[in-house]
Chain A
Amino acid sequence: MEHLIKDGTFDHHGYLNMELLRFTTAGSVDDGKSTLIGRLLYDSKSIFQDQMEAIEKTSEQRGEEYVNLALLTDGLKAEREQGITIDVAYRYFATPKRKFIIADTPGHIQYTRNMVTGASTANLAIILVDARNGVVEQTYRHAFIASLLQIPHIVICINKMDLVDYSQEAYDKVVEQFKHFSSKLDVQDVRFIPISALKGDNVVERSETMSWYEGPTLLYTLETVHIGGDHNLIDVRFPVQYVVRPMSDEYHDYRGYAGRVSGGVMKPGDTVMHLPSGLTSKIAAIKTIDGDLDEAYPPQSVTVLLEDDIDISRGDMLVRENNIPDQGQDIDIMLCWMSEKNGLQPGGKYAIKHTTRDARCVVKEILYKVDVNTLHRIQDVNTLTLNEIGRVRIRTTVPLFYDEYRQNRETGSIIIIDEGTNNTVAAGMIIK
């Protein structure tokens, strides 16, 4: 963090004004993902001396020629023994411009489940492609998942450029292959960067050997990509999370509706409608311990007071009366199945969580399954198993207040829970 020091003092102002970017990294086994993350951490001076000494020692013991930066991100004993990562791990680093949270997801069979998990909160996805192999089946899968989860920005890093003599031809081929495929996907912003994670080209420092590439480095891209538009600021959605009732003399009749703004901008004086009742009231105040707010927007956690006494509890939602979400019990969702034990059963009953609402559902129909490598729809399926993605129709026990996932990642997402084990068995994106 030495780079946050300017003229012998710490740049507090700069630090306090940084934005947060969450990104996920995807790549096949041996695409050099761990090396890339190690390189980002190392070149941005986010590695401590004791961490560096520990991996130097390990690299030496293993007889490796250079310090293996991939060791920085190898977490658990089991995976160190097997030499693979087995779960989503989160890493942190900061530059003077932004703070970053990396959801590091591994590249083997449990991949889809892990990538979906990492992608669910990401603003940006890095997809690694080995320059020697070009776009492979897994690249398609990664891109499809990124589009399915509506990650706003995708960066294709063409890695191992040092092994193809830094050839522009190899780079161009990947760009062309990927563009051909991505025209079928729902993605807004795709960028391409030729890199060598091992040698450091175009990761943090500009490459001296690829003068034909005039675009920015990966780090510069991460620092500057516009993330202001990543939240829905149009449709007011306030799922009530908790009712604050102090029960004290000072705040005798206080009923505060605590929650996190999931969409839109709320202001005192705004007329809001309560769902499910349909009753309307005005926002009397937006409270925080640091004072009342003039407005609240995603992803702030606030407490809302209303002018009228309406019976409101957790799981309800406040919206604008002229802009209400869909309400209903028969819902189509794109489901990613995550349980290795049991597949999705048509007719099966599950618990669900949607915004702050708990409910149960029954699976009415599996409409189709998606071949994640070709995007083909496979009809007449009777189950979804681990890592499979398909469109499913469910009926819920109570109405949900929802938006299409494309419109709002928070009011359009759902998790499915096995009622026997209580495990989360699927992630769902609401289609309609």
Chain B
Amino acid sequence: MSYSLTHLRELEAESIFVMREVAAQFQNPALLFSGGKDSILMVYLARKAFWPARIPFPLVHIDTGHNFPETIEYRDWLVNEMGARLIVGHVEDSIARGTAVEERGINASRNALQTVTLLETVEAHKFDAAMGGARRDEEKARAKERFFSHRDEFGQWDPKNQRPELWNLFNGKKHIGEHFRVFPISNWTEMDVWQYILLENIPLPKLYFAHEREVIERDGTFISTHPTWVKLRENETVSKRMIRFRTCGDLPITGAIESDADTVEKIIYEVATTRVTERGNRADDKRSETSMEDRKKQGYF
């Protein structure tokens, strides 16, 4: 008998450990749920961590109002399936309050506004820890992120003032008004997530699988059509293609790839042969080379 774990079981054990630390160290934690596969993975890991008890924290969804309908449909199904509590923060409420201002122009998106609503939701519900599904392999600025990431009372992240993280001893001590972002799946890669989804037979939103859709080719990627959120630009045409999405962001800015991968196995094959990172299809990251770092400093996930 060899007492060694496979790498996926070791990652699973680590993530469960981190979630239990959050439940033990914080008064009022929450799990940020975006509808993407990484946050879905987190919900399944949270169920494992506390079973047979229910997940002892609510799922928080920051709704930009620009979601794919499939994302909302899946979210509501999952919440019901898990017997979890759902809290929704609406970007439209922040716009109505005047705390967030809608962007204008052809590249307008609600991505930046999400940060405002997130911080308002954290404050309104007095969450002292918000778990997110960010992974360190996603982007350069995330490679240095801690599992327990301290935020000041403005929700800001200071890359130069992060606590050293040693062994499995996570320091969640804080002053009143401060909170933490916690990233239980920090050490997972995109391939790990897909393999685990296959291994554990985790259902996913339909957007991830190949389907026929009316799209516009834009900046080397395919954007879904929409009667009001997506405006056709000069020289752009609408075509019907077999596509799938690699991430589930906002409809107007989430690019699809041409694909016939309609099963998890086929997606894994595609991921293994793809030569572009999954964020490579997101218009928000392409704005500047340091866009992720700038958004993180302001309190983005």
- A contacts, CB < 8 Å to B: 1-2, 4-5, 9-10, 12, 15-20, 48-51, 54, 73-78, 86-92, 94, 98-99, 101, 104, 113-114, 116-117, 120-121, 227-228, 231, 233, 241-242, 244-248, 250-251, 254, 256, 258-260, 265, 287-290, 297-301, 303, 314, 338, 351, 353-354, 356, 409-410, 413-415, 417, 422-424, 427
Contact = CB atoms under 8 A, between A and B. Distances in A.
Given A5-B269, A94-B191, A297 B13 contact: no
Nearest to A298: B3
A88, A89, A242, A414 — most chain B CB neighbours (10 Å): A242
B48 A92 contact: no
Interface stretch (B88-96, B98-106, B112-120, B164-172): B164-172
Nearest to A21: B7
B202 to A, nearest CB: 13
Top 6 nearest A-B pairs (CB, nearest first) are A49-B275, A20-B7, A246-B53, A422-B173, A301-B16, A89-B143
Interface string B35-58: 000000000000111111110000
A51 B269 CA distance: 20
Contact of B160 (A9, A17, A48, A86): A86
A2 B271 CA distance: 9
Contacts of A241: 17, 20-21, 24
Interface in B168-208: 168-171, 173-175, 186-187, 189, 191-192, 195, 198-199
Interface residues of B, number: 70
B4 interface: yes
A354 B52 CA distance: 28
Nearest to A258: B20
Interface of B: 2-14, 16-17, 20-21, 23-24, 47-54, 136-137, 140-141, 143-144, 159-160, 162-171, 173-175, 186-187, 189, 191-192, 195, 198-199, 265, 268-269, 271-277, 280, 289-290, 293
10 contacts: A1-B191, A48-B274, A76-B141, A92-B189, A98-B7, A117-B164, A251-B53, A299-B13, A415-B167, A427-B164
Nearest to A297: B3
Contact of B192 (A87, A99, A248, A414): A99
B101 to A, nearest CB: 26
Given A5-B273, A49-B275, A75-B140, A19 B13 contact: no
Contacts of A338: 164
Given A1-B271, A413-B169, 18 more contacts: A15-B195, A20-B5, A76-B144, A76-B293, A77-B290, A89-B143, A113-B164, A116-B164, A231-B3, A241-B17, A241-B20, A251-B53, A289-B51, A290-B48, A298-B3, A299-B5, A422-B173, A422-B175
Given A50-B277, A314-B24, A417-B173, A75 B53 contact: no
A134 B277 CA distance: 39
Contacts of A15: 191, 195
B186 to A, nearest CB: 7
B53 A422 contact: no
Contacts of A415: 166-167, 169, 171
Contacts of A73: 143
A2, A50, A246, A314 — most chain B CB neighbours (10 Å): A50
A1 B174 CA distance: 41
A48 B280 contact: yes
Contacts, number: 200
B24 A244 contact: no
Nearest to B139: A75
Contacts of A410: 167-168
A228 B272 contact: no
Contact of B186 (A2, A90, A351): A90
Nearest to B286: A50
A348 to B, nearest CB: 17
Contacts of B290: 77
B143 A244 contact: no
B53 A244 contact: yes
Nearest to B7: A20
B224 to A, nearest CB: 22
Contacts of A114: 164
B136 A90 contact: yes
Nearest to B189: A92
Contacts of B47: 289
B21, B48, B50, B174 — most chain A CB neighbours (10 Å): B50
A246 B54 contact: yes
A19 B4 contact: yes
Contacts of B7: 18-20, 98-99
Nearest to A47: B275
A48, A90, A248 — most chain B CB neighbours (10 Å): A90
Contacts of A78: 159-160
A93 B97 CA distance: 45
A12 B274 CA distance: 17
A98 B10 CA distance: 13
B16 A87 contact: no
Contact of A12 (B169, B195, B276): B195
Contacts of B277: 48, 50-51
Nearest to A98: B7
B165 to A, nearest CB: 6
Given A94-B189, A288-B48, A424 B160 contact: no
